[in-house]
Structure formats: C-alpha cells, structure tokens
C-alpha cells in the first residue's frame, strides 16, 4: 500500500526560495551584471538633489537597519505583554539571522555596487542587498504572526501591504542606483527562505493564548457554581 507524506508548506517554500537564491547567484557568477540590469538602473534613476531623489532617500533611511530594529523591539515587547511568547520568539529568530549574517555574505560574495553615479556613504559591496533582506525578514515574520488565526480577508490584506512595502523599499534602492535588481532579488529570497525555515520548525508556528488551556499544575482550579433545581 502506497503512503504519501504530507510536506510542510513552509519547508517547501524555504526549499524553493533557497534554490531560487542559488540560481540567481550562479547567473551572477556567469555574467555580472546580468543582461538588462544596467538598463533598468538608467531607466528608473532619480537625479541627485531632485524631489523624487529626496523622497527615495527618506524611504531608504526609514528602512535602514536601526529603524527596523526599533520596530522589531516594539513588536516583541507587545507580543510578550500579551503573553504570545512563541510569536515573540519567532519574530526574534526570524530577523536576527538575516540582520547579522547579510553583511558577512556581502563580504564573501564581494560584488561591487553599480557605480553608475556617486553613491555617497554606503558599503563597497551590494550582494545580497541589505535593505531587501532586512525588510523582507521583518515583513515576512510580521505578516505570518498577524495571519495566525485571522480571517482570509485579513491575511490577504496583510500580504498585500507587506508586498507593497517590499516593492517600495526595492524601488528606492534601484532609483538611487545603489543595487542591481539581482542584489534585491537575492536579498528577498534568502531572507524569505530563512523565515520560512523558522516557521516550519515545531515551535515556529505563532499561536495566540488559548483561553481553554487548563491552568498549570498547582494552580487553583476555577470553581463553578451550579444551581440546584427543585
């Protein structure tokens, strides 16, 4: 008799995103930059000092690591205050690795930034894009936590808002000329793979406090009065 093992969807997603990451990296090794990447940068570039450039720089500053870390700290505090300890642990685990490992990956891969225009005070290497990886990790785990126990409509809304945020962050980096499109794609895929892997683990699924959960051992049981019928 044939038996089929149900594959964890989060683990399957982590595998797919990991393969996508490796594929893009292989293409970059074979040809850098990829065909069309320079054209994309020239097409969306915002001239330095212009109104759009200032707005895009504000987006870049607002999605740098420090502001994202503040959001993560506040979110973790809220989850702990509402006794959602598992979700708080999921948030910390999901963002900690991408935020600390991505700079190391940049140095290991050592891909130079586009250099089509003056870039100001930025690091020398561009792959994977830090803004893409950092924001993807935070957005993915926040959407996962918000979607737990929510309606289908709420889940769709959370996914839509998260996707729009990631696109805006990526567009800012492209228009400022700081990253090739493949830098951003690898940042998304590898950070998303990590979050999906964390969610796939036994303790990775966020959960709300269950009011029907029995009290801990030794805690006084709640007594209910029954009215005697005559």
Q: At what angle do helices 152-175 and 181-200 cross, to 10 degrees?
A: 150
Tens digit of each residue's pLDDT (9 = 90 or more) over 176-203: 999 999 999 999 999 999 999 999 987 6
What is the pLDDT at residue 229?
A: 42
Residue 68 has pLDDT above 60, yes or no: yes
Helix or strand or coil: residue 148? coil
What the block records as the tokens of 6 is 């149900």
CA 136/CA 129 separation, integer angstroms: 11
Closest CA to 79 of 67, 92, 70: 92
Place of tokens 């891969």: 109
27-60 pLDDT tens trace: 999 999 999 999 999 999 999 889 999 999 999 9
Answer yes or no: are the C-beta atoms of 188 and 72 closer than 8 Å.
Answer: no
Give CA–CA dist 49/53, Å, rounded: 6
State how far the Cα of 190 lies from the Cα of 99, in Å rounded to an integer: 12
Question: Higher-confidence residue: 209 or 156?
Answer: 156
Q: Identify the pLDDT of residue 118.
A: 87
pLDDT score recorded for residue 2: 54
Residue 3: per-residue pLDDT: 55
What would the pLDDT profile of 114-165 be if each residue is shown by its tens digit? 989 988 889 999 999 999 999 999 999 999 999 888 888 989 999 999 999 9
Predicted local distance difference test score (pLDDT) of residue 207: 55
Residue 170 backbone class (left: φ over 0; alpha: ψ -120 to 50; beta: rest): alpha
Distance (Å, whole) CA 32 – CA 111 = 9
- Give dist(CA 108, CA 129) in Å, integer: 13
Contact 134, 191 (CB under 8 A): yes
Residue 139: how many other CB atoms lie within 10 Å: 25
- The structure's pTM equals 0.85
Q: What is the mean pLDDT of the chain?
A: 88
pLDDT digits (tens, 9 = 90+) for 98-112: 999 999 999 999 999
Q: Tokens in use for 36?
A: 């069309």
């Amino acid at each position: 008799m044939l038996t089929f093992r149900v594959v964890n969807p989060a683990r399957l997603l982590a595998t797919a995103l990991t393969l996508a990451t490796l594929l893009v990296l292989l293409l970059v090794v074979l040809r850098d930059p990829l065909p069309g990447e320079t054209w994309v940068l020239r097409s969306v570039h915002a001239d330095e000092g212009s109104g759009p450039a200032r707005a895009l720089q504000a987006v870049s500053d607002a999605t740098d690591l420090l502001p994202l870390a503040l959001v993560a700290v506040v979110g973790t505090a809220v989850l702990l205050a509402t006794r959602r300890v598992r979700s708080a642990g999921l948030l910390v685990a999901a963002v900690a690795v991408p935020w600390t490992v991505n700079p190391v990956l940049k140095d290991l891969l050592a891909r130079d930034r586009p250099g089509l225009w003056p870039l100001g005070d930025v690091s020398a290497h561009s792959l994977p894009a830090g803004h893409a990886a950092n924001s993807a990790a935070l957005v993915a785990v926040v959407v996962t936590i918000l979607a737990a126990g929510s309606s289908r409509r709420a889940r769709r809304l959370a996914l839509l808002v998260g996707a729009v945020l990631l696109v805006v962050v990526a567009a800012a980096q492209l228009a400022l000329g700081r990253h090739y499109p493949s830098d951003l794609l690898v940042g998304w895929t590898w950070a998303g793979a990590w979050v999906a892997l964390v969610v796939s683990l036994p303790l990775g699924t966020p959960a709300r406090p269950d009011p029907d959960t029995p009290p801990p051992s030794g805690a006084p049981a709640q007594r209910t009065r029954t009215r005697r019928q005559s």
